Amino acid sequence: MASDLFEAPDYYLVDELLTEEHKLVRQSTRDWVKKEVSPVIEEYAQKAEFPKHMIKGLADIGAFGPYIPEEYGGAGLDQISYGLMMQEIERGDSGIRSTCSVQSSLVMYPIYAYGNEAQRKKYLPKLASGEYVGCFGLTEPNYGSNPGGMITNYKEDGDHIILNGAKMWISNAPFADIAVVWAKNEEGRIHGVIVERGMEGFTTPETHNKWSLRASATGELVFEDVRVPKENILPNKSGLGAPLGCLDSARYGIAWGALGAAMDCYDTALRYAKERVQFDKPIAAYQLQQKKLAEMITEITKGQLLVWRLGQLKNEGRATTAQISMAKRNSVEIALKIAREARQVLGGMGITGDYSIMRHMMNLESVVTYEGTHDIHLLITGLDITGHSAFK
Partner 1 sequence: MKVLVCISHVPDTTSKINFTNNNTEFDKNGVQFVINPYDEFGLTRAVWLKEKQGASVTVLNVGTAETEPTLRKALAIGADEAIRVDAEPTDAFFVAQQIAAVAKEGEYDLIIAGRESIDYNGGQVGGMVAALLKWPFINACVGMEIEGDKASFTREIDGGKEKLSAPLPFVIGGQKGLVEESDLRIPNMRGIMQARKKPLAVKEAVDAEAKTKVGDFAKPEPKGAVTMVDADNMEELVKLLHEKAKVI
Binding mask 49-78 toward partner 1 (x if CB under 8 A, else -) reads: -----------xxxx--x---x----xxx-
What angle in degrees, to the nearest 10, is found between the helix axes of 94-101 and 79-92?
150
Cβ 319 to partner 1 shortest distance, Å: 21
28 binds partner 1 (CB under 8 A): yes
**Least distance to partner 1 from the beta carbon of 66, Å?**
5
CB of 81 to partner 1, least distance (A): 7
Which residues, 251 to 270, sit near partner 1 by CB under 8 A? none
CB of 16 to partner 1, least distance (A): 12
Q: Specify the residue, 45 or 77, whose C-beta has the smaller distance to partner 1.
A: 77
Taking CB under 8 A as the rule, does residue 84 contact partner 1?
A: no
Residue 25 is a binding residue for partner 1 (CB under 8 A)? yes
Q: Is 81 in the site for partner 1 (CB under 8 A)?
A: yes
Does residue 47 interact with partner 1 by CB under 8 A? no
CA dihedral over 54, 6, 101, 170, signed as positive or negative: negative
Catalytic residue, chosen from 140, 220, 341, 371, is 371
| Cα–Cα distance for residue pair 62/96, rounded to 1 Å | 14
Task: Name which position in 24, 151, 294, 305 contacts partner 1 (CB under 8 A).
Answer: 24
Residue 35 engages partner 1 in binding (rule: CB under 8 A): yes
Nearer Cβ to partner 1 (41/221): 41
Told to judge if 371 belongs to the known catalytic residues of this protein, a careful annotator would answer yes
Supply the residues annotated as catalytic.
Answer: 371
Which residues bind to partner 1, rule: CB under 8 A? 20-21, 23-25, 28, 31-32, 35, 60-63, 66, 70, 75-77, 81, 85
